[in-house]
Amino acid sequence: MNDQVYIHFLGTGASVPSLKRGLPAAVIMKDQTGILLDCGEGTQLKLLQAGISAAKIRYIVLSHLHGDHLFGLPGFLTSQQMFQRIHPLTLYAPVGIRSFMDCLMQITGFNPTFPFELVELPADESGSLNFNQFDISYRPLDHKSPCLGYHFKEHNKPGKFDAERAEQLGIPHGPERSRLHNGEAVELEDGRIIEPEQVVESPIPGRTISYCTDTRPCDATVELARGSQILIHDATFTEMHKDRAFPTGHSTAVQAAMIAKNANVEKLYLWHLSMRLDKQGEEQSLSEARSVFPESFIAQDLDSICLNRPQ
Ligand SMILES: [Zn+2]
Ligand SMILES: [Zn+2]
């Protein structure tokens, strides 16, 4: 098992696809298990281009049910059925997704034979989820449609086991040692209780990623993203079109950077960029964000980031 977490950006644009930017989708990948964040139209093609097998997607998490984040889902699911997927797949999305799926099944005849679970999340409440290797918290954002922002926190890795110390304490080789390594206290035959801290170094913290789109700037994103290594945030507009941000329920690059700064994240990735941004517009967006938060970057389709564990 390797100890790496990647974020693969698949589609980084807003509303309609362009040759340069597909519609929103990204994958968090750990140990060959993927979490797909949003599933805009064209996500299947982007997965192919990125060399990521769709079979590795174990979870799909949708921010909201606007078409640009959702319309890749029917194709993705239908292809999985055609490929006779056997691996389980769980879909999390705000309330309304069940009606969408019912409609899809009724009209297209899609009827998964692979283990498929659908979980509707009330989009006006905060909550938490637990995936294989991640704890997830979510909060309602401020968009035109009920929308959830997500924070992914990889489980901590147990600290190093001090075998020498274990010998000194007379801890037998066997299950006692693995229980201690996993954070449990154990009682030895002579009645002594050994606490994990006596033989295990401090746990190594897990990686943290926040995904907040689509949204106006709001306190919920600051709370969700606080201290994250990576914040992926709506940055649909530059200052030139900032008057369009509020009425459409989006943020500017500067507003995204303010959130990143207030949440004290390590890096901000500007996301959900308007198709009207050409190369010059992108440079403008980036320099506006960096004037507020220097560790800002523009997410580009098919870019991958490898995250180190926080120090
Ligand atoms: Zn959108
Ligand atoms: Zn939207």
Residue 183: the pLDDT is: 85
- In Å, what is the CA distance from 169 to each residue of 173, 176, 190, 267? 12, 12, 12, 44
Give the number of whichever ligand sits closest to the CA of residue 11.
1
Chain center to CA of 47: 16
What's the 167 CA to ligand 1 centre distance in angstroms? 58
What's the 208 CA to ligand 1 centre distance in angstroms? 23
- Is pLDDT above 90 for 240? yes
What's the 305 CA to ligand 2 centre distance in angstroms? 25
- Is pLDDT above 90 for 231? yes
Give the number of whichever ligand sits closest to the CA of residue 235.
1
Percent of the chain with pLDDT over 70: 100
Residue 2: the pLDDT is: 74
Give the number of whichever ligand sits closest to the CA of residue 272.
1
CA trace torsion 101, 33, 56, 307 (10° rounding): 110
Is the full-model pTM beyond 0.95?
Answer: no
- Is pLDDT above 80 for 47? yes
Residue 1: the pLDDT is: 60
Give the number of whichever ligand sits closest to the CA of residue 24.
1
Please give the average per-residue pLDDT across 104-129, as a whole number.
Answer: 96
Token pair 């606007």 is found at 66
Please give the average per-residue pLDDT across 127-137, as a whole number.
Answer: 94
- Amino acid at the residue 179: R
What's the 159 CA to ligand 1 centre distance in angstroms? 41
What's the 284 CA to ligand 2 centre distance in angstroms? 23
Residue 276: the pLDDT is: 87
What's the 115 CA to ligand 2 centre distance in angstroms? 29
- Of 226, 245, 227, 225, the C-alpha closest to 236 is 245
Please report, for the chain, the start and end positions of each structural domain, with discontinuous segments joined by +: 5-157+204-307, 163-198
CA–CA dist 21, 45 (Å, integer): 12
Neighbours of 226 (CB within 10 A): 15
User: pLDDT higher for 183 or 162?
Assistant: 162
Q: What is the per-residue pLDDT across 139-168, written as a single tens digit (0 to 9) for each?
A: 999 999 999 999 999 999 888 999 999 999
Characterize 89-101 residue by residue with b for buried, 16 or more Cβ atoms within 10 angstroms of its Cβ, and e for exposed.
bbbbbbebbeebb
What's the 27 CA to ligand 1 centre distance in angstroms? 17
Q: What is the per-residue pLDDT across 292-309, written as a single tens digit (0 to 9) for each?
A: 999 999 999 999 999 999
Token pair 């997830």 is found at 136
Please give the average per-residue pLDDT across 42-63, as a whole number.
Answer: 98
Residue 208: the pLDDT is: 98
- In Å, what is the CA distance from 115 to each residue of 55, 84, 178? 12, 11, 33
- Is pLDDT above 90 for 252? yes
Mean pLDDT score of the chain, rounded to an integer?
Answer: 96
Fold designation for 5-157+204-307: Metallo-beta-lactamase; Chain A (3.60.15)
Q: What is the per-residue pLDDT across 192-230, written as a single tens digit (0 to 9) for each?
A: 999 999 999 988 999 999 999 999 999 999 999 999 999
Mind giving me the DSSP string for 86-143? -S-EEEEEETTHHHHHHHHHHHH-----S-EEEEEE-TTS-EEEE-SSEEEEEEE--S
Residue 310: the pLDDT is: 87
- Is pLDDT above 70 for 42? yes
Is the preceding omega at residue 124 within 30 degrees of 0, hence cis?
no
Contacting residues for 36 by C-beta, under 8 A, at least 6 apart? 25, 26, 27, 43, 57, 59, 60, 61
Query: Which amino acids are annotated catalytic?
Result: 68
- Is pLDDT above 90 for 3? no
